[in-house]
Amino acid sequence: MLYDQIPSLDLADFVSGDETLKQQFVQNLGAAYHEIGFVAIKNHGLNDADTEKLYATIRKFFDLTDAQKQAYEIEGLAGQRGYTGKGKEHAKGRNTGDLKEFYHVGQELDPKDPDYDLYPKNVWVNEIPEFKDISLLVYRTLENAGKTMLRAIALYLELPEDYFEDKVHNGNSILRPIHYFPIENPDEVPADAVRAAEHGDINLITLLMGASADGLEVLRRDGKWIAITALPNQIVVNVGDMLDRLSNHKLKSTIHRVANPPREMMHTSRYSIPFFMHPRGEMDLTCLPNCIDAENPKRYSDITAGDFLDERLVELGLKK
């Protein structure tokens, strides 16, 4: 089946207590992830007020001067916390940097937590004191929604419903506010520069809050690019490369991009805030035995999530 738009599903069906609705959600989700790798989800737990507050807050940050923002660009972290400057990340297989800048917020653990030293510490913006609280609130809300989605995914893959629970507990997930900055003179940037070149996400799943402008497109398996749109009360949730590997491509990490606007609109900003749901680094991404058969032989070599992430960060130009 070729979708002209991504399917819309209601996460409330999965948690309703109605077994028929729950199983229908699982099968519809699995079918969409097998075919196109993207769905739009409502009843995800994130409210409009918190969404609007985070967007207003990140606009304040990206409106700071380049010198102010660069104070939050920390050497040695491969961009995994704090600010990453304009054009520094490029898609796998490309050398031209994307026309974006972004900020990374990761797990914020209690000092008493045994995993406290597992990750770099978050970097908070002195000029914007509200940045920390709203970022962490949205982080936790989307992390919880992601865990629910993974329960449904586990059932579709004929795994125990809680299969992913210990693997994403204190996982290496990232909230990434992105600014696709305005280009006043398009002739001054490389001819092949785009807001986000075609790519697959690294992680298990990505949960995307509504972006501030159009531009997100997904490559359908017949080679046609289709626009990704979601209603104001929805988030977009797509399969990442780690889940694709684990499921031996039963669930598809589909290539997508953020296309440039028309030339006359290149002077405008676009903002988006994806949540990249990562497991713990020690998670084994070896293809599941029940996803391998004569028609779908094993596609991927064995690797852990941490080693796979390191490989991809090198490919993206963020790590040496």
Hey, what are 210's tokens? 């509504």
Which neighbouring-strand residues pair with 304?
284
Tell me the percentage of the chain whose pLDDT exceeds 90: 73
CA 13, 14, 19, 24 dihedral sign is positive
pLDDT value, residue 286: 98
List the chain pLDDT tens, one digit each, 320 residues.
Answer: 677 788 999 999 999 999 999 999 999 999 999 999 999 999 999 999 999 999 999 999 999 999 999 999 998 888 899 999 988 887 777 778 888 999 999 999 999 999 999 999 999 999 999 999 999 999 999 999 999 999 999 999 999 999 999 999 999 999 999 999 988 888 777 778 888 888 889 999 999 987 555 788 999 888 999 888 777 889 999 999 999 999 999 999 999 998 888 888 889 999 999 999 999 999 999 999 999 999 999 999 999 999 999 998 888 777 77
pLDDT value, residue 212: 55
The rounded distance, in Å, linking the Cα atoms of 117 and 102 is 24
The rounded distance, in Å, linking the Cα atoms of 33 and 38 is 6
pLDDT value, residue 98: 84
Domain architecture of the chain: domains with CATH: 8-315 (2.60.120.330)
